[in-house]
């Protein structure tokens, strides 16, 4: 008899227990794990935030504050044209931050992402020049990203096989890549400034990555398909758990989640489908949005739903435990650095498209700092073991929103650096404080 | 007692030597670990308890001697060999990932897949069953991160992780060293549950309270030799302390092997 009542506790908190019980479930238990009703879910979430485990909430609050401040100061800030522009500016930082996520979750850092990615993008831009090699764009992109993979592999092997600190190896990689990048630019007729101007289809397509728009009707259909697909996955997953007796969030919470995704999709497509041109037409969702979403989706699945991703987190959390579990640390770490460089290649290709070419005054070093800042602002820990691809997107949006706003206000670059630096500092403080807050609830967190 | 003598022990270690350079860490060690019994391995610091444990679990390889598993001679070259036989070790540092939840930790390195992706639901059910079977009922949710668990709960999860894989021998290194009274109670109950399930359990401990509370058999090491092993009822506190500190005892408990 005694046993029976004991085992009933395993599945979570029974519905008869009230507020105090929910609050008892300290800090780090996600609300979806213990709540049976919407009310409990909300209370569990509040309790969690109070205990310092705030999730993405600080970013969202910061985002709202930034938007409110700048929209008051600048009337055009919330115009459709500027919002789309803001997203295009943020996209590069978002993708670079998702690249950095691999290194950060592993408990490492990659300082080379900016220039390694820039090398890949420069290779692509050079290879499609009609006056020289005139490669087809898919081949040129593959070649550029392949360079990034190899560069990441060399760095990964140096870090894992010679046991060098990633900080130093990637700092060296940053300098080497910077030099290689400048050499690559010198080839061809443009001597330092290969661009995407010209009549070639290949040039045009790379230009479209950032500046091309999807037809408004197609935008709605695409968004509907994405929302329906995501909604189905979430709903079916949750109801399967409910029906097989596992702990799952209540149906109302599941539906609210899906509704939130639908609302975001409608707002984004609605804004993008406004005609943004002063003369003529400029409307529809820019290509860059599905590109960023594709990277986000792929890396979210890889990190959250595959063995590989699980091992990345395990190594970031406790490498010794991972080793004893039979995980090949060197392999996972090296491929982590390869994926980091690979993703950086995608990000800087978008940047090349944004700039309509490549030039020798690209600030690859600055972009590394933005990438790390964006990931940390989004909620990825610098200490390893905690992070998501989504954090890079949210953090990138925050940095882009600040940048865009200050640009509209006509503030000079000095101020943009200072404010971005302060935002990074604030993010790290939140990271540190939330870790301390949750540490009080646990026994062995050093 | 009669059962333990007539039945072939699950693990039999005979005349095992191990040295590191000039240092002889194990000297002609004989040890029996019968199934369904808790064997406590006692000894002062440097007596060779850890080395012996690591030889059994495949971290070190023995220099001389023989190991029998279920009566068959075996060679344990590495930890994977040990796992394949059904030997799992719970080290003092537990080797859990704080950032992962209980299910993720229990399946670390042996995740179940469905169409190439992690089958979280299946793993969650299996982990819940294992914990229920071991009567580990103090955790609120098996989806909470290990960092939010108490020391005793973490120990329980580490043990559950070890026994999940049809293991037949579980070796625990100082399982109660860092625990409070209630948590120690829970872990000792867990050890008894393992024994009742028919597993062989070896517990390394300095704590004589725990040793006498939980052990069916006691083995004592002294300066690299296993000086005595017998049923726990043959010992009292003083005799165990004598064996640990001098390698012998003038009291009635136990029988000397080496002299």
pLDDT of A418 reads 86
Give the lowest-confidence range in A88-92, A297-301, B40-44, B148-152. Answer: B148-152
Question: What are the tokens at A217?
Answer: 């009707």
Is residue A150 predicted with pLDDT exceeding 50?
yes
* Cβ pair B100:A317 closer than 8 A: yes
Identity of the residue in A246, A325, A386 whose CB atom sits nearest the CB atom of B125: A246
Is residue B1 predicted with pLDDT exceeding 70?
no
Range of the domain at B180: 2-96+167-246
The whole-angstrom distance between B120's CA and the closest CA on chain A is 9
The reply to whether A225 falls in a domain is no
Mean pLDDT, to the nearest integer, of B89-112? 90
Please spell the DSSP secondary structure of B189-232, one letter per residue.
HHHHHHHHTT-EEEEE-S-HHHHHHH-SEEEEEETTEEEEEEEG
Question: What are the tokens at B158?
Answer: 């580490």
* Cβ pair B147:A442 closer than 8 A: yes
pLDDT of A12 reads 39
Mean pLDDT, to the nearest integer, of B39-54? 90
Which distant-in-sequence residues (6+ apart) come within 8 Å of B238 by Cβ?
A: B249, B251
The whole-angstrom distance between A269's CA and the closest CA on chain B is 31
The whole-angstrom distance between A107's CA and the closest CA on chain B is 12
Question: What are the tokens at B259?
Answer: 């002299």
Mean pLDDT, to the nearest integer, of A252-272? 93
Interface test with B, best of A52, A307, A386 (most B CBs within 10 A): A307
Contact A60, A45 (CB under 8 A): no
* ipTM for the whole complex: 0.82
pLDDT of A416 reads 76
A191 shares its domain with A320: yes
A86 shares its domain with A40: no
Nearest CA in chain A to B131: A10
A67 shares its domain with A176: yes
Mean pLDDT, to the nearest integer, of A273-296? 91
Identity of the residue in A34, A324, A385 whose CB atom sits nearest the CB atom of B99: A385
Contacts A–B by Cβ distance under 8 A: 126
The whole-angstrom distance between A420's CA and the closest CA on chain B is 29
pLDDT of A22 reads 39
Q: How many domains does chain B have?
A: 1
Rounded Cα distance between B259 and B248, Å, is: 8
Nearest CA in chain A to B110: A325
The whole-angstrom distance between B141's CA and the closest CA on chain A is 5
* Cβ pair A244:B121 closer than 8 A: yes
* Cβ pair A9:B140 closer than 8 A: yes
* Cβ pair B121:A314 closer than 8 A: no
- On chain A, the residues whose CB falls within 8 A of the CB of B148 are 26-29, 438, 441-442
pLDDT of B186 reads 85
Rounded Cα distance between B204 and A279, Å, is: 81
The reply to whether A246 falls in a domain is no
Mean pLDDT, to the nearest integer, of B16-41? 92
The model's confidence at residue A429, banded by pLDDT at 50, 70 and 90, is confident
Mean pLDDT, to the nearest integer, of B22-34? 92
A44 shares its domain with A59: no
The reply to whether B91 falls in a domain is yes
Q: How many domains does chain A have?
A: 2
- On chain B, the residues whose CB falls within 8 A of the CB of A324 are 79, 95
The reply to whether B220 falls in a domain is yes
CATH number where A125 lies? 1.10.3470
Range of the domain at A44: 24-53
More confident: A225 or A249: A225
The model's confidence at residue A344, banded by pLDDT at 50, 70 and 90, is very high
Give the lowest-confidence range in A243-257, A262-276, A293-307, A413-427. Answer: A413-427
Mean pLDDT, to the nearest integer, of B45-71? 90
* Cβ pair B147:A445 closer than 8 A: yes
The reply to whether B150 falls in a domain is no
* Cβ pair B104:A310 closer than 8 A: yes
Is residue A442 predicted with pLDDT exceeding 50?
no
The reply to whether A233 falls in a domain is no
Report pLDDT digits (tens) over B143-153: 888 988 888 88
Interface test with B, best of A443, A445, A446 (most B CBs within 10 A): A443
Is residue A15 predicted with pLDDT exceeding 80?
no
A108 shares its domain with A182: yes
pLDDT of A114 reads 95
Which distant-in-sequence residues (6+ apart) come within 8 Å of B48 by Cβ?
A: B25, B26, B29, B221, B223, B224, B225
Mean pLDDT, to the nearest integer, of A4-30? 40
The model's confidence at residue B221, banded by pLDDT at 50, 70 and 90, is very high
Q: Give percent of chain A above pLDDT 90.
A: 59
pLDDT of A415 reads 84
The model's confidence at residue A435, banded by pLDDT at 50, 70 and 90, is low
Which distant-in-sequence residues (6+ apart) come within 8 Å of A106 by Cβ?
A: A312, A315, A316, A332, A333, A336, A384
The model's confidence at residue B92, banded by pLDDT at 50, 70 and 90, is confident
pLDDT of A17 reads 37
Is residue A158 predicted with pLDDT exceeding 90?
yes
- On chain A, the residues whose CB falls within 8 A of the CB of B94 are 321
Edge to edge, what strands does the sheet with B217-222 contain?
Answer: B87-90, B169-173, B200-204, B38-43, B217-222, B225-231
Question: What are the tokens at B100?
Answer: 């992962």
A296 shares its domain with A427: yes
A147 shares its domain with A42: no
The whole-angstrom distance between B169's CA and the closest CA on chain A is 17
Rounded Cα distance between B236 and A58, Å, is: 60
Mean pLDDT, to the nearest integer, of A420-440? 71
Give the lowest-confidence range in A52-56, A70-74, B218-222, B251-255. Answer: B251-255
The reply to whether B251 falls in a domain is no
Interface test with B, best of A30, A442, A445, A446 (most B CBs within 10 A): A442
pLDDT of B206 reads 82
Q: Which of A53, A72, A90 is the last residue of a domain?
A: A53
A48 shares its domain with A62: no
pLDDT of B150 reads 86
* Cβ pair B98:A445 closer than 8 A: yes
Cα end-to-end distance, chain A, whole Å: 40
Is residue A32 predicted with pLDDT exceeding 80?
no
Question: What are the tokens at A253?
Answer: 């919470």
The reply to whether A277 falls in a domain is no
pLDDT of A52 reads 56
- On chain A, the residues whose CB falls within 8 A of the CB of B121 are 240-241, 244, 246
The reply to whether A337 falls in a domain is yes
* Cβ pair A7:B98 closer than 8 A: no
The reply to whether A156 falls in a domain is yes
- Average pLDDT of chain B? 87
3-state secondary structure of A188: coil
pLDDT of A439 reads 45
Mean pLDDT, to the nearest integer, of B49-66? 91
Nearest CA in chain A to B109: A325
Question: What are the tokens at A227?
Answer: 């929302």
* Cβ pair A321:B148 closer than 8 A: no
Interface test with B, best of A5, A6, A8, A10 (most B CBs within 10 A): A10
CATH number where B16 lies? 3.40.50.300
pLDDT of A103 reads 97
The reply to whether A103 falls in a domain is yes
* Cβ pair A34:B100 closer than 8 A: no
* Cβ pair A444:B145 closer than 8 A: no
Report pLDDT digits (tens) over B154-184: 888 988 888 887 789 999 988 888 788 888 8
């Amino acid at each position: 008899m005694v046993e029976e009542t004991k085992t009933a506790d395993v599945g979570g908190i029974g519905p008869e227990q009230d507020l105090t019980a929910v609050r008892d479930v300290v800090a780090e238990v996600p609300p979806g794990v213990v709540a049976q009703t919407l009310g409990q879910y909300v209370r569990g979430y509040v309790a969690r935030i109070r205990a310092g485990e705030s999730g993405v909430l600080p970013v969202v609050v910061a985002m709202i504050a930034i938007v409110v401040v700048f929209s008051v100061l600048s009337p055009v800030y919330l115009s459709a044209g500027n919002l789309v522009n803001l997203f295009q500016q943020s996209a590069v930082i978002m993708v670079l931050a998702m690249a950095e996520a691999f290194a950060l979750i592993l408990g490492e850092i990659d300082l080379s992402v900016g220039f390694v990615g820039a090398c890949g993008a420069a290779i692509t831009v050079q290879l499609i020049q009609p006056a020289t090699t005139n490669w087809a764009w898919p081949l040129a992109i593959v070649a550029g990203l392949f360079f990034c993979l190899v560069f990441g592999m060399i760095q990964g092997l140096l870090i894992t096989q010679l046991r060098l600190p990633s900080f130093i190896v990637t700092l060296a990689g940053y300098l080497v890549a910077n030099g290689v990048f400048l050499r690559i630019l010198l080839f061809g007729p443009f001597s330092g400034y290969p661009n995407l101007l010209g009549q070639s289809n290949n040039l045009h397509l790379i230009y479209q990555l950032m500046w091309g728009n999807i037809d408004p009707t197609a935008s709605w259909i695409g968004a509907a398909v994405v929302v329906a697909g995501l909604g189905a996955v979430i709903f079916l997953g949750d109801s399967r758990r409910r029906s097989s007796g596992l702990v799952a969030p209540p149906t109302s919470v599941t539906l609210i989640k899906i509704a939130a995704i639908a609302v975001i999709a409608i707002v984004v497509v609605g804004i993008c489908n406004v005609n943004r041109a002063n003369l003529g037409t400029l409307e529809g969702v820019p290509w860059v949005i599905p590109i960023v979403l594709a990277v986000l989706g792929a890396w979210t699945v890889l990190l959250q739903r595959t063995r590989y991703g699980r091992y990345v987190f395990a190594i970031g959390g406790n490498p010794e435990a991972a080793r004893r579990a039979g995980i090949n640390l060197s392999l996972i770490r090296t491929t982590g650095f390869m994926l980091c460089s690979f993703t950086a290649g995608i990000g800087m290709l978008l940047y090349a498209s944004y700039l309509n070419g490549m030039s020798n005054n690209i600030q690859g070093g600055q972009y590394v700092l933005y990438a790390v800042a964006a990931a940390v602002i989004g909620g990825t820990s610098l200490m390893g073991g905690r992070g998501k691809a989504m954090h890079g997107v949210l953090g990138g949006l925050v940095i882009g929103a600040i940048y865009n706003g200050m640009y509209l206000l006509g503030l000079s670059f000095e101020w943009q650096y200072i404010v971005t630096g302060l935002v990074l500092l604030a993010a790290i403080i939140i990271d540190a404080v939330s870790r301390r807050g949750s540490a009080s609830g646990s026994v062995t967190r050093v | 007692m009669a059962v333990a003598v007539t039945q072939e022990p699950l693990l039999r270690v005979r005349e095992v030597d191990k040295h590191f350079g000039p240092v002889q860490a194990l000297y002609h060690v004989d040890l029996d670990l019968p199934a369904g019994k808790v064997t406590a391995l006692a000894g002062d610091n440097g007596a060779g308890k850890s080395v012996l444990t690591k030889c059994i679990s495949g971290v070190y390889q023995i220099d001389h001697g023989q190991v029998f598993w279920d009566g068959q001679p075996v060679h344990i070259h590495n930890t994977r060999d040990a796992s394949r036989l059904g030997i799992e070790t719970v080290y003092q540092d537990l080797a859990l990932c704080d950032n992962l939840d209980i299910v993720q930790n229990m399946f670390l390195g042996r995740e179940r897949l469905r169409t190439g992706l992690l089958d979280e639901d299946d793993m969650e059910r299996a982990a819940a069953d294992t914990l229920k079977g071991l009567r580990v009922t103090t955790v609120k949710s098996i989806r909470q991160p290990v960092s939010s668990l108490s020391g005793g709960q973490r120990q329980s999860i580490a043990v559950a992780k070890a026994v999940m894989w049809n293991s037949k021998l579980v070796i625990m290194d100082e399982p109660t060293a860092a625990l409070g009274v209630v948590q120690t109670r829970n872990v000792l109950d867990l050890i008894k549950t393992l024994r009742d399930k028919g597993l062989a359990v070896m517990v390394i401990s300095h704590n004589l309270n725990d040793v006498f509370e939980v052990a069916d058999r006691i083995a004592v090491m002294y300066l690299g030799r296993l000086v005595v092993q017998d049923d726990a009822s043959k010992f009292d506190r003083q005799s165990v302390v004598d064996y640990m500190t001098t390698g012998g005892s003038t009291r009635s408990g136990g029988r000397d092997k080496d002299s």
